Amino acid sequence: MTTKVIKVSGMTCGHCVSAVTEELSSIAGVSSVAVELVPGEVSVVTVTSEGELAVEAVAAAIDEAGYDLVE
């Protein structure tokens, strides 16, 4: 199991958490997603997966949800 911590901006509510969780969970190998919501600031998202995740896949999922990945 691998854990990756990413930062996401633009999230403000529970709906935002659901959207990000759903998109990240759709990546092959992802087993869990935990979001520490900080409304209007940078939220911390912890993704647990079977193996290393491609940065491009994570960035695409965050973009699809409508938010921005913070480098």
- The span from the CA of 47 to the CA of 45, in Å, is 6
Is residue 26 packed enough to be buried (19+ CB in 10 Å), middle (13-18) or exposed (0-12)? exposed
**Which H/E stretch holds residue 40?**
none
71: confidence class by pLDDT, cuts 50, 70, 90? confident
- The yes-or-no verdict on residue 43 having pLDDT over 90 is yes
Nearest one of 37, 39, 35, 45 to 4, comparing CA atoms: 45
Structural domains in the chain, sorted by start:
2-70 (3.30.70.100)
10: confidence class by pLDDT, cuts 50, 70, 90? very high
